[in-house]
Amino acid sequence: MVAKSIVTATVYLRTLGLYCDLNKTDPKAILKVAGTKAFRDNFTDFIRRMEREGKAGSYLSRFKKVLNSWLSYNGINVKLKVNIRGESDTPRIANERVPNKEELDRILRMATPRGRVSIALMAFSGLRPESIGNYDGSDGLKLGDFVEAEIREDGIEFSKVPSMLVIRKSLSKARHQYFTFIPQQTITYIKEYLEERVKQGEELSKDSPLLGFDPRGVKRNRFLRTTLVTRDVKEAILRAGFNWRPYVLRAYCDTNMIVAESKGKISHPYLQFIMGHKGDIEARYSTNKAVLPPDMIEDMRKCYKECEPFLSTATQPLEQSNIIKEAKIEALKSMAKSLLGIDLLDVKVAKEKLIGRELNKDEELEL
């Protein structure tokens, strides 16, 4: 199991240890009695007792999974089949909702510079905390994972916006490499955070961890562990006056990207890929050894940029500007039609045919 996930292996080991403590037994003793009716009856009694104590079904089902896994690992073909009330229920998150833009903006303001980077990566790019820094601090995001950025003496510079961020296979939950994009808002947080680290004497390179350690703290690992990543996020959430789990920020990204998809801003295969799910594009990306056609990458970047207003908390001035431009264009169309008998849409189409591309809003106004 460790070969698949050290996190799952550790959780299973702790759960087995807890079961043994609660039932005054040990793992080897369980193996000796596993095939008996008494063992199955004792496990059923344990579940019923815990249910009376108010334990959630999803919590109790873990004991069943762990014991079945332990028996299977030792070659014992016995399956505990006790029914557990509410086995699929998740009461802790049943009433949890994703934050709105104003709430997310408050969380960002309450965060440390390091925490702000993590929050932005989760909320705007859909990263999982363990993709930012893994369970034991042995791996995490590096500056070199921002493949379109240039590392300089005074910080980092991004050549394209939105900018590509590669999630290596070792940091992906589904164990496949993929990439997502980061918007200008995230870039600003990263640049401010890295500039501060440079001022403190750090020399940056492509191999440098994205998230550094508090200089007053004790550095035990090269990268920030997942627990420290989520601690930064959780502290900001609490300071903002909320009690959500850090993972709600990834849900914020997923939810708002789905809304953008419904508005025709991004295709479902693109959305799946950017969120790190397996699908058609992931299969093509993996088959082609982590290479996609440049025109597809640029199309994905364009689609992500069109989704930014649904995600970013810093897009309101831009949105307001676009609304004003749209209103001016519509007013001019109406005036041209009523006073001059000219259909500006025909003029626009003719101009676009002439130059071979669509006009932007500023060019429409000038026309």
Q: What is the pLDDT of residues 26-39, one digit of tens each?
A: 999 999 999 999 99
Asked if residue 244 belongs to a domain, the reply is yes
Distance CA 114, CA 244 (A): 19
Torsion angle in degrees (nearest 10) through CA of 11, 12, 14, 16: 160
**Quick one: 61 and 159 in the same domain?**
no
**Quick one: 149 and 244 in the same domain?**
yes
**Quick one: 114 and 58 in the same domain?**
no
Q: Confidence class of residue 318 from pLDDT cuts 50, 70 and 90? A: very low
Residues 289-312, mean pLDDT to the nearest whole number: 92
Question: Of 36-45, 109-118, 253-262, 330-339, which gets the smallest average pLDDT?
Answer: 330-339
Q: Confidence class of residue 337 from pLDDT cuts 50, 70 and 90? A: low
**Quick one: 206 and 63 in the same domain?**
no
Distance CA 151, CA 355 (A): 37
Domain extent, residue 252, equals 97-314
Asked if residue 86 belongs to a domain, the reply is no
**Quick one: 283 and 358 in the same domain?**
no
Strand partners, 209: 142
Q: Confidence class of residue 323 from pLDDT cuts 50, 70 and 90? A: very low
Asked if residue 177 belongs to a domain, the reply is yes
Burial class (CB in 10 A: 0-12, 13-18, 19+), 118: buried
CATH of the domain at 147: 1.10.443.10
**Quick one: 26 and 115 in the same domain?**
no
Q: Are strands 149-152 and 155-158 parallel, antiparallel or unpaired?
A: antiparallel
Asked if residue 78 belongs to a domain, the reply is no
Nearest to 162 by CA among 125, 205, 118: 125
Match 């993590």 to its residue by tokens: 118
**Quick one: 175 and 62 in the same domain?**
no
Q: How far is CA 3 from the centre of its chain?
A: 23
Helix axis angle, 57-73 to 6-22, nearest 10°: 100
pLDDT digits over 144-182, tens only? 999 999 999 899 999 999 999 999 999 998 888 999 999
**Structure confidence at residue 322 (pLDDT):** 56
| Token duo for residue 92 | 């802790």
What share of the chain in percent tops pLDDT 70? 80
Torsion angle in degrees (nearest 10) through CA of 293, 296, 301, 306: 180
| Token duo for residue 300 | 């994905």
Listed in sequence order, the DSSP H helices in the chain are 6-22, 27-33, 37-52, 57-73, 101-110, 113-125, 129-132, 184-199, 226-239, 248-262, 268-274, 280-287, 294-311, 316-335, 344-355, 361-366
Question: Of 277-281, 322-326, 338-342, 352-356, which gets the smallest average pLDDT?
Answer: 322-326
- DSSP-derived letter for residue 340 is I
Query: Is the pLDDT higher at 113 or at 3?
Result: 113
Asked if residue 92 belongs to a domain, the reply is no
**Quick one: 119 and 37 in the same domain?**
no
Residues 43-66, mean pLDDT to the nearest whole number: 93
* Contact predicate 57/88, CB 8 Å: yes
- DSSP-derived letter for residue 303 is H
What share of the chain in percent tops pLDDT 90? 68
Asked if residue 80 belongs to a domain, the reply is no
**Quick one: 54 and 110 in the same domain?**
no
Does the model's pTM come out above 0.85?
A: no
Residues 334-342, mean pLDDT to the nearest whole number: 67
pLDDT digits over 181-228, tens only? 999 999 999 999 999 999 999 999 999 999 998 655 566 788 999 999
Distance CA 130, CA 269 (A): 23
Distance CA 86, CA 88 (A): 5
Q: How far is CA 349 from the centre of its chain?
A: 41
Residues 226-255, mean pLDDT to the nearest whole number: 97
* Contact predicate 86/144, CB 8 Å: no
**Quick one: 307 and 224 in the same domain?**
yes
Asked if residue 90 belongs to a domain, the reply is no
How many domains does the chain divide into? 3
pLDDT digits over 74-120, tens only? 999 989 989 998 887 766 666 689 999 999 999 999 999 999 999 99
**Quick one: 227 and 299 in the same domain?**
yes
Asked if residue 84 belongs to a domain, the reply is no
**Quick one: 170 and 257 in the same domain?**
yes
List Cα–Cα distances, 272 to 101, 261, 285, in angstroms: 22, 11, 13
Say if residue 329's pLDDT is above 70. no
Distance CA 310, CA 285 (A): 26
Of the three residues 73, 105, 120, the one that is the final residue of a domain is 73
Helix (H/G/I), strand (E/B), else coil: 135 = coil
Q: How far is CA 112 from the centre of its chain?
A: 19
Nearest to 133 by CA among 125, 123, 141: 141
* Contact predicate 110/92, CB 8 Å: no
Nearest to 119 by CA among 204, 96, 110: 110
